[in-house]
Chains A and B, each alone.
Chain A
Amino acid sequence: METARKFIKTFSNVPMLGWLIGFFAAVLIEYYWGYDYISYYLGLPKIPVLFGALIMLKEPIMIPGAIAYDLIVYVIPILFIAKVSIFFTNRVAAVLEKTPLWMSAIIHLAFFYGVLHLWAGINDYRVLIVKLTLISIILTISINVINGYQGEFSCSHPGFMAIGAYISSILTLYFFVNDKTFGTAVLSSELGPWLFPIALIAGGVAASLGSLLVAIPSFRTRGDYLAIISLAFMFIVKSAVENLNVIGGARGMGGQPDYAPLPIIFIWTILCIWVVHNFVTSIMGKALNAVRDDEAASESMTVKTRKTKMTAFMFGAFWAGIAGGLFAHVLAYINPGMFSINRLAEILAMVYFGGLNSIIGSIVGAISINVLGEALRPLELFKWIIIPLILILVMIFRPYGLISFKEINAKKLLRSKHKREQGA
């Protein structure tokens, strides 16, 4: 235990940039030697997609090989490069620290994206997982605004997602695609990717308008009524879509153009994190927390409680709509059954697993549940016993989720660890 702590402490002076370079080195190793040498000599049939989890569960005999692969490709290079490069990375981080925060953040994110792109690009399956995980992050953050920061219990997120997905799909299919239901394209399909954000935002706005249907009746009284009204809303959206044969009804709607490649989704995710972070740390966000903790007291402190609650609710619904639009264009097929109780259970699992009132918690929750879901896929049905059990344990030991009530501090995250080294 003591040695482990010491070992971890030796990495305390590695800045974020160092970890990114380590990750970059690991991905390069996997990219150039992963298939030809490493997995070949370890007796693995191909490059393990999700750190070998799938292969380990399918064929237990491969477990040592997969673990060795993880060590050789990921753990050792990341730790080694991160440690070796501290002299260089701390200098660079110190230089970046002097630039404005946004510039430093953009450089880090661009670098991170490059590495992620390379990592995901090795395998199509990885690309899909990363895309869906990023969309889940948007979704989880958007529900955290309502269930965490606002302290309500909303069940309508699948409904908002469905609205966003359908509206944006209708727009892109109508304008940019020669489709059976909507006829020939109105605009040139080359404009599509450029005008796609407008379609997405239209979906988001439609979702937030739809949220008024829930917000207006339910914010008159506090309590569980939001839960039930939002639940009713979700069912209403689902069965309304099922009955609209113009947009496919229960059969669903397909053929959305592929306007959502990985970089676009990544940019939307970062945008979502940034905007929501600014929202919850703004005066409005603080007012929202005050309303959650004590509505009467906050009202006496000049907080317009109703307006605050409505704004936050519409804001959360907007991002759920964006996530829905991206989801539709990633899968290129949607049907009303996708936006039902099962989706709700998944979204709630992600937000409560990760942690309430915390963006970083939402990110952790979305990634954990998604990756866990994919990694346990070989177990088939048993997956749906293991994931709920994990969630129950999290709820029992950390009732607010793993990382709750914590905010990201970008400045602290990105700063050079050089000074601490000098001080020691």
Chain B
Amino acid sequence: MEALIELIQYIVQNLINALQRGSFYAVISIGYSMVYGVLMLFNFAHGDIFMVATYIGFGIATLFLALFAGFIPGPLIFLATIVITMFLASWIGVFVEVAGYRPLRSAPRASAAITGLMIGIIFETSILILLGAKRLSFPPLMESIAYNVGGVYFTNVKVMIIIISLLLMLALHTFIQKTKWGMAMRAMSYDFLAVPLMGVSINVIAPLTFAVGAGLAAVAGILYGQAYPILDPYMGVIIGWKAFVAAILGGRGSIKGAALAGYLLGFIEIFVATIFPSTLRDLIAYSIILLILTYRPRGFFGMEHSTKLRL
């Protein structure tokens, strides 16, 4: 009985950690999936958009804390940081679309992928040049309080990360299902040839999609900064590629698939790390993904048709 309770505690403990880790992957991989849905190509700069957004969030948070800490309540500062960072980061998304993807609308998809990769490298290098190689640490926007419920330890930061991510996804779902813009995006991913003929310009919808994805990445960045406060210009590469893998695992262009696969990736990583030595984490996580894709090449919610990569 003792052992069983301990096991349950252990599982629940890791479940919370996995939910937290999965939240980042889920929110970021939604950005990949949305762009894929509209443009049928992956935004390889998304990981670096996330990185730049985290740096912006860091700047805003530091500024606000320096200016207003004390006479404006903490949660308000937190909210203001999120909103302003989302706004600024979405312009980065628009910039990437206009500078990197729009000129290549009619070009082969692989070329657009290369452009995305290169924009990512430019972002990383720019941050390195501007801020130097020193590692900055994200200021805590919220006092961390640890709770112990029935032997399971968690902090309010962890809970907040999980809840904000879920709320964000809910908001995105409403946006896509209920608003006119969301309908345009859905239509575009349904048929990107006919929809422009109906008066919905791809040159409006594509930047919008990039902006929404970048806004989500910005929130993920701030939350990531709360959980793992060390900032690093290459963090976008590590997190971004994993989120990309999650987006594929969920099925190309499927937002709910991407979210689900993001959480799954978080679970795999955390549970592998608790059972095996943590150096094996990537090895086992990617092997599982390879195995899943072998038997289900479309991913979880992938579209039925398989498209050929135009050269």
* CB <8 Å contact, B290 and A341: no
Closest to B305 in A: A223
* CB <8 Å contact, B287 and A236: yes
- Which residue from A227, A238, A240, A391 sits with its C-beta under 8 Å from B118? A391
Residues of chain A within 8 A (CB-CB) of B237 are 341
CB A254 to nearest CB in B, in angstroms, measures 21
Chain B CB count within 10 A is highest, among A236, A238, A348, for: A236
Residues of chain A within 8 A (CB-CB) of B245 are 228, 231-232
* CB <8 Å contact, A224 and B248: yes
* CB <8 Å contact, B279 and A239: yes
* CB <8 Å contact, A384 and B297: no
**Which candidate, B62-70, B103-111, B142-150, is the interface stretch facing chain A?**
B103-111
Contact-size category for B? 35 or more
In the complex with contacts A151-B309, A220-B297, A295-B308, A236-B110 CB distance below 8 A: no
* CB <8 Å contact, B309 and A384: no
* CB <8 Å contact, B121 and A221: no
A350-386 interface with B by 8 A CB criterion: 352, 356-357, 381-382, 384-385
- Separation of A220 and B245 alpha carbons in the complex (Å): 19
* CB <8 Å contact, A388 and B122: yes
* CB <8 Å contact, A385 and B126: yes
| Count, chain A residues at interface, CB 8 A | 51
- Separation of A224 and B297 alpha carbons in the complex (Å): 10
* CB <8 Å contact, A225 and B117: no
- Which residue from A222, A292, A384 sits with its C-beta under 8 Å from B306? A222
Closest to A149 in B: B311
B6 at interface by CB-CB < 8 Å: no
- Separation of A243 and B36 alpha carbons in the complex (Å): 34
* CB <8 Å contact, B311 and A151: yes
CB A259 to nearest CB in B, in angstroms, measures 31
* CB <8 Å contact, B122 and A389: yes
- Which residue from B42, B104, B108 sits with its C-beta under 8 Å from A396? B104
A196 at interface by CB-CB < 8 Å: no
Closest to A405 in B: B311
Residues of chain B within 8 A (CB-CB) of A399 are 104, 107-108, 111
Closest to A344 in B: B117
In the complex with contacts A151-B309, A341-B241, A391-B114, A217-B297 CB distance below 8 A: yes
In the complex with contacts A349-B114, A382-B129, A388-B122, A217-B290 CB distance below 8 A: yes
A152 at interface by CB-CB < 8 Å: yes
* CB <8 Å contact, A232 and B118: no
Residue interface bits B158-182, CB-to-A below 8 A is 1, else 0: 0000000000000000000000000
Residues of chain A within 8 A (CB-CB) of B136 are none
Residues of chain B within 8 A (CB-CB) of A216 are 294
A170 at interface by CB-CB < 8 Å: no
B286 at interface by CB-CB < 8 Å: yes
Chain B interface, DSSP helix/strand/loop, else mixed: helix
- Which residue from B42, B119, B298 sits with its C-beta under 8 Å from A388? B119
In the complex with contacts A222-B306, A239-B280, A243-B280, A395-B287 CB distance below 8 A: no
Residues of chain A within 8 A (CB-CB) of B125 are 381-382, 384-385, 388
- Separation of A226 and B308 alpha carbons in the complex (Å): 11
Residues of chain B within 8 A (CB-CB) of A153 are 110, 113, 309
Residues of chain A within 8 A (CB-CB) of B252 are 224
- Separation of A218 and B279 alpha carbons in the complex (Å): 27
B12 at interface by CB-CB < 8 Å: no
CB A362 to nearest CB in B, in angstroms, measures 15
- Which residue from A152, A242, A348, A382 sits with its C-beta under 8 Å from B279? A242
B100 at interface by CB-CB < 8 Å: yes
Chain B CB count within 10 A is highest, among A231, A250, A399, for: A399
In the complex with contacts A222-B308, A395-B104, A352-B110 CB distance below 8 A: yes
* CB <8 Å contact, B293 and A229: yes
- Which residue from A239, A250, A389, A395 sits with its C-beta under 8 Å from B283? A239
* CB <8 Å contact, B126 and A352: no
Can you name 10 A-B pairs with beta carbons within 8 Å?
Answer: A151-B311, A221-B298, A223-B306, A225-B248, A228-B244, A231-B245, A235-B286, A239-B282, A392-B118, A400-B108
Which positions in A face B, CB cutoff 8 Å?
147-148, 151-153, 213, 216-218, 220-229, 231-233, 235-236, 238-240, 242-243, 250, 292, 295, 341, 345, 348-349, 352, 356-357, 381-382, 384-385, 388-389, 391-392, 395-396, 399-400
Which positions in B face A, CB cutoff 8 Å?
42, 100, 103-104, 107-108, 110-115, 117-119, 121-122, 124-126, 128-129, 237, 241, 244-245, 248, 252, 279-283, 286-287, 289-290, 293-294, 297-298, 306-311
Given A239-B281, A240-B283, A395-B112, 19 extra CB contacts under 8 A: A152-B309, A217-B293, A224-B252, A224-B307, A226-B309, A229-B293, A232-B286, A233-B290, A235-B282, A236-B287, A250-B279, A295-B308, A357-B311, A381-B125, A384-B124, A388-B118, A392-B100, A395-B111, A399-B111
